[in-house]
Structure 1
Amino acid sequence: MDAQLLAFTGVAAGMVAMPGADFAVVVRNALASRGAGVACAVGVAGGLLVHTALAVAGLAAVLVAVPVLFRTLQIAGGIYILYLGCRALHAVLRPAPVQPEADGDAADGIGRCLRQGFLTNVLNPKAPVLFLSLLPQFVPHGAPVLPRTLLLASIVVALALVWFPAVALLVDRLGHWLRRPRTARTVEGVTGTALAGLGVILVAGSVSH
């Protein structure tokens, strides 16, 4: 592995591990069950796969070049993340202890968590811009662009497939403590506030421009 690839891996690892909407939504689902958390984590990685594919194809440049499209995506993403935050805060305010939501059979629940992780990530408008600006910095001068960019994109997705399921498994491992009613409400409240805050910031930022 060359020095540039090592440097990119370090930068990408920090980017993937940085707490944000993806992290919060994985933690919230992992509190429900291990399967829900891992499914959500895989969904987040799927969203990253879409962003990296767009960057490789050059389509992410269109979002940057056409402000209306970027703003539309930003508003949609902000509203969805705000919705998730409000759901979490509503769960905290319910009189009954926080319990995993019964939403159809187990397969339906896993599918819902998978979609939740995917949509949380894929509707993040900052991700394509980040990839579009980051990936070219690690393509050596004169090297074939497409194979190198595909390799860099694969590293990002692989890191996400390691990090987010690991977060879900850690939360599940600590489940005996995290699922205590008082602790669960605290975690639910923190993640809900974080998601709602991120949603408000995204929506307000898009409207103000």
Structure 2
Amino acid sequence: MLAAAVFLISVPVFIEAPLVRYLPTVSLLMTLAWLGFSWLLWRKPSTHVWGDLLFGFSWTWLAGSIYWGWLRWEPMLHLPVEAIGLPAAAYYLARGQGKVGHWFYLGSLFGTAVTDVYFYLVNLIPHWRQLMQVQPEQAAPILAAALSQIQTPWGAFWAVMLVGMLLGVGILPLRHRQLHWWAFGGSVLSTLLVDGLFWIAAMNA
């Protein structure tokens, strides 16, 4: 479950990101495919848990398709769009249903929120807006400027604080045996992996 959660957070980022940039409608429609596949898995007792997990993943895919496809120029809308599945998660969890998928989604949403908070604290939002309006080959100077702010004492302090928070929130649930906690912990810890990969890519741009 931990490996599956890490996979569903990290790997699709590098599939959905280019797809949603050039074919946002296709990416959005793929949400229906994920939902259909999750339903097929959900129906069978032997694969029910994986259908549950994939259902939660469908919310992250849907939010990513909407935001990065049509709204990526406005960072203020990022978290509200990512929270599109929050009412459904609250409803199903209150009924004790879909625990694996919805806790996975909540872990992903928490990681996204922490990353966004860092962007605001370190004043990276102007760089975000600039990046969304240039071609990839023109991104290097913007990334360099953003890195210079990350590497300040203020940027380093908040990086350490928020990484510590993600590690704590991601690792503590792994002490429990229930699969939904492992899905939650895996999705939170995957935030560190994805953010780290983007940081390395920015340094090498």
The alignment's TM-score, normalised by the length of structure 1, stands at 0.30
Larger Rg: 1
Of structures 1 and 2, the one scoring higher in RCO (CA 8 A, sep 6+) is: 1
* TM-score scaled by length of structure 2: 0.30
